[in-house]
Amino acid sequence: MTYPALATIILMPPVVLGLATVLTWVERRLLGLWQDRYGPNRVGPGGMFQAVADGTKILFKQDWIPPFADRAVFVLAPVIGMMTVLLSFAVIPVTMGVGIAGDMNVGLLFILGMMGLGVYAVVLAGWASNSKYALLGGMRAAAQMVSYEAFMGLSLLGVVMMAGSFNLHDIVAAQAGLWFIIPQCLGFGVFMLAGIAQTHRLPFDLPEGENELGAGFHTEYSGMKFGMFFIAEYAGIVLVSSLVTTLYLGGWRGPFLPPAVWFALKTGGMVVFFILLRAALPRPRYDRLMALGWKVLLPLSLFNVMATGTILMLRASL
Amino acid sequence: MSTTLASTREQGLADMISAHLPNGALATQSTCDGVSIIWIAAADLRPAFAALKASASLMLLDLAAIDERDRTHRDGQPQAAFTVVYHVISLTVRVDEVRIKVPLGATAPALPTISDLWPGANWYEREAWDLFGIHFHDHPDLRRILTPPTWTGHPLRKDHHARATEMPPYSLTEEHEAREQDAMRFDPSAWGMRPHGDHSDFMFLNLGPNHPSVHGVFRIMLQLEGERIVDAVPDIGFHHRGAEKMGERQSWHSYIPYTDRVDYLGGVMNNFPYVMAVETLAGITVPPRAQMIRVMLAELFRIASHLVFYGTMAQDVGQLSPVFYMFTDRERVFGIIEAICGFRMHPAWFRIGGVAMDLPEGWEGLVRAFLDDLPGRLDEYDAMVMRNPIFRARTKGIGAYTTAEAVEWGITGPGLRATGLAWDYRRHAPYACYDQLEFDIPTGTNGDCYDRIAVHVEEIRQSLRIIRQCVDNMPAGPVKADHPLTTPPPRARTMHDIETLIHHFLSVSWGPVMPPGEARASIEATKGVNTYTLISDGGTASYRTRIRTPSFAHLQMIPLLSRGIMIADLIAILGSIDFVMADVDR
């Protein structure tokens, strides 16, 4: 194992966790800006240390497990949630050289696999809590995430076909001339929707659905176990944003500025877009979300695969 | 489907009822407010109501009881220990209304139910049972409704204590605690629900009393199959504070602040029917300037209340931002209200005979600036909320009911107008100076959640229009009637002759003494028809204060609307009903 890889392994988790923590503050400030109010602005410059204060508070809270819960699974669920997101970052190519397993030849499949495992966190949390609101949340999560995963993979096939590889470095390299967002605009749209559904953020936050289910699958969680779900959600936003950057926005490519800065800018822009969605849109009903998935997005992504394939074949035969 | 109002009946409602009585009326009683009261025998009740129901589309506005045992001024009224009053109105071009009273004896008072004829009577009869101990035969579900199931006695009876100091000190013994705990255990069959379906068990979900979307302390027991609601049973009473009982202890004047808190979003809108009823009892004519000020403030509060509704409704379907914009606007309304009244949410600013004081200098500028600003912002909200496709998908076709159902269940206000019936108390029984003001009555067509919201939004615009007319045409003159029974009483001559000084002293220290009689005043409040019925027995306090609030009737309809829908739809319906639990439980 080379020295830089070791350094990345050590640095990646704190950086991602730090980013996710700061993101909680960024989101609250941005929401405040868009909603004609301040948001947290008291602790540190511009309220920046609010995230630290919240983190400290949540770390010191009583670690409580409801007596009616299934203890082992109840503890395991947030761990799974946190772990799968962190592991996914291993294959994200921040720049040419940085990335733990950057050259993994099935990088994209690895990420999809990890996202698939991430469903367990939510479903098990809902089940182990042994409470009705949590159960309903877990049920919704199972249905929503499993079905959106199906065509999340399909929507990415177009990118894979055009790059001819599952390796994320190759995919970025293949966008040298044109970012995939233009030829793959359909796949991009489907992937975005599926990405929001996977991170269960508003407008697709049905597993939590505050107005309907209290707090959904994590109703019974408190203290750091809740904190892990929370951080995992924000790390998930960063993950999906960096995936979008890598797959559709040319990754770290860009003129003048260093590659890492381009990557950060593009990812940051996507994150802000995620937050803007939350500020702007209401939540569709659960069954309509499922109908949208199976009746609209699935055919669209299939069509995208066929169209991309056909065009590639025609081009090759010319 | 647009429904138009029938023109005024050829035959008055009172004559119509008299014609349907098998044995004729026991007596008729005249009241200060001009609405006739017909006394009928208990045996005639069901035939009379069955005939009424068949022959005309009437609304049972209110059903309440009176404990007559301590009352001295009952001239010409039949002997009774308890009386049950049915208030029936017809939604015609000029509102026609009548009150029907049934006398009952002191021991085990009972009446047949009319909840099979008027489904809306169900909760009202339960309330009369709970608070007065009047039994209704064949009632489907005669349980306590406002007090807890473990309560002993019937609080609105005159022999029931009104204050904690009238009771021995409270202590929670172990067996008492066990009894209370036991009463909280949920038993589906006691709530009229089956625990098992044909193929599977149902899941019972306790929505509330502290759930983010029930707007206060309100509980609904849901019988679920997956996320689909099989049945829903609302449970109210968590916010019951005995407002009607307090009315019997407070002086006529000092009860005004209590009314503020009944619909806590409505502010002075609650003072309005109360002081109107007292003025009717006292025979006070309110001067035009005071009338106009009252209307202006009431409409400002209507805007404030509707803005809260609009914002929280958007939030209930998951839209996070609108509620902040609308609360900012509401804050501006409160800025004006604070400048005028000195208070924000509960100004208690109306007085018997007028208002507390004249408008402050510069009020016109404040109001005009607001009038110019809000319409533009409302247009922005239309784009953000009403035209948002997800919002429309969540609210269109959800929770719909027809005009006929609305009338049957006693639905008034925006919930009634959303079904297409352009009926508004301000127009069809004008009070204060509404007959001099121009405004439209917005209506919907489908009676669904979306239409209810659209009606609310349009009502904000109409209220702005009314306020503008008030600002343009504010008459000069006094803001309180020159009448000895106004509060505080006129004191211009107190230092000149002893007679005035004595009267002033008594009126301030004891409070005014209202002449005996009965009076009722209704207004179009923010959420529907709000009615205060006051009975004076010639004292410094009311003998019976009856508050008919719109939200109480509206919540009764929830089971009907929620069968077969998803939980998320129920949340949208709850939001669109626009209720305040203090308004339900009083």
Residue type, A190: V
* A36, pLDDT greater than 50: yes
Contact: A284, B390; criterion CB under 8 Å: yes
B569 touches chain A (CB under 8 A): yes
Domains defined for chain B, CATH in brackets:
13-147 (3.30.460.80), 243-585 (1.10.645.10)
**Lowest-pLDDT choice from B7-21, B213-227, B441-455:** B7-21
Residue type, A224: M
Q: At what angle do helices A298-317 and A185-198 cross, to 10 degrees?
A: 150
User: What CA–CA distance (Å, rounded) separates B526 from B333?
Assistant: 15
pLDDT on residue B463: 93
Contact: A279, B321; criterion CB under 8 Å: yes
Task: Return the percentage of chain B with pLDDT > 70, whole number.
Answer: 97
* B35, pLDDT greater than 70: yes
B393 touches chain A (CB under 8 A): yes
Q: Give the pair of three-digit tokens for residue B435.
A: 């007959």
| Dihedral (CA of B433, B437, B443, B448) sign | negative
Closest to B318 (Cβ–Cβ): which among A37, A133, A211?
A: A211
Q: Give the pair of three-digit tokens for residue A95.
A: 């720049």
User: What CA–CA distance (Å, rounded) separates B332 from A286?
Assistant: 37
**Lowest-pLDDT choice from A249-258, A300-309, B256-265, B442-451:** A249-258
Residue type, B277: A
Confidence of residue A115 (pLDDT cuts 50, 70, 90): confident
* B5, pLDDT greater than 70: no
> Which one of B320, B394, B453 makes the best mutation probe of the A interface by having the most chain A beta carbons within 10 Å?
B320
Query: Where are chain A's structural domains?
Result: 66-317
Q: Give the DSSP letter of residue B262.
A: T
pLDDT on residue B1: 41
* A99, pLDDT greater than 70: no
Over range A61-83, report the average pLDDT: 88
pLDDT on residue B127: 92
Q: Give the pair of three-digit tokens for residue B424.
A: 């508004």
Phi, psi of B361 (to 5 degrees): -60, 140
How buried is residue A316: exposed, middle or buried, by Cβ count under 10 Å (0-12/13-18/19+)?
exposed
What is the ipTM, given to two decimal places? Answer: 0.84
B317 touches chain A (CB under 8 A): yes
Closest to B566 (Cβ–Cβ): which among A34, A133, A287?
A: A287
Over range A6-14, report the average pLDDT: 78
pLDDT digits (tens, 9 = 90+) for B173-184: 999 899 888 888
Confidence of residue B2 (pLDDT cuts 50, 70, 90): very low
Q: Give the DSSP letter of residue B64.
A: E
CB atoms within 10 A of CB B564: 11
pLDDT on residue B188: 79
Contact: A285, B211; criterion CB under 8 Å: no
pLDDT on residue B42: 85
Chain B: nearest CA to A175, how far in angstroms? 35
pLDDT digits (tens, 9 = 90+) for A150-167: 888 888 888 888 888 888
* B56, pLDDT greater than 80: no
Contacts B571 to A, Cβ<8 Å: 211-212
Q: Give the DSSP letter of residue B86.
A: E
Closest to A278 (Cβ–Cβ): which among B205, B320, B384?
A: B320
Q: Give the N- to C-terminal CA distance of chain B in Å, as an integer.
A: 35
Contact: A212, B567; criterion CB under 8 Å: yes
Contact: A282, B317; criterion CB under 8 Å: yes
Over range A100-115, report the average pLDDT: 78
User: What CA–CA distance (Å, rounded) separates B553 from B547?
Assistant: 12
Residue of B nearest to A212 (CA): B568
Residues 6+ apart with CB under 8 A from B564: B228, B229, B230
Over range B374-385, report the average pLDDT: 90
Over range B358-385, report the average pLDDT: 90
Contact: B325, A287; criterion CB under 8 Å: no
Instruction: DSSP for A52-83, please give it.
Output: HHHHHHHHHS-----TTS-HHHHHHHHHHHHH
Q: Which of A258-272, B8-22, B542-556 has the largest mean confidence? A: B542-556
CA angle, B49 then B53 then B30, to 5° = 50
Contact: B394, A34; criterion CB under 8 Å: no
* B479, pLDDT greater than 80: yes
pLDDT on residue B466: 93
Contacts B332 to A, Cβ<8 Å: none
Task: Return the percentage of chain A with pLDDT > 70, whole number.
Answer: 95
Over range B231-247, report the average pLDDT: 89
CB atoms within 10 A of CB B355: 24
> Which one of A211, A219, A274 makes the best mutation probe of the B interface by having the most chain B beta carbons within 10 Å?
A211
Contact: B320, A211; criterion CB under 8 Å: no
B319 touches chain A (CB under 8 A): yes
What is the number of CB-based contacts under 8 A between chain A and chain B?
79
pLDDT on residue B4: 56
pTM of the model: 0.88
Q: Give the pair of three-digit tokens for residue B242.
A: 């005995």
Contacts A296 to B, Cβ<8 Å: none
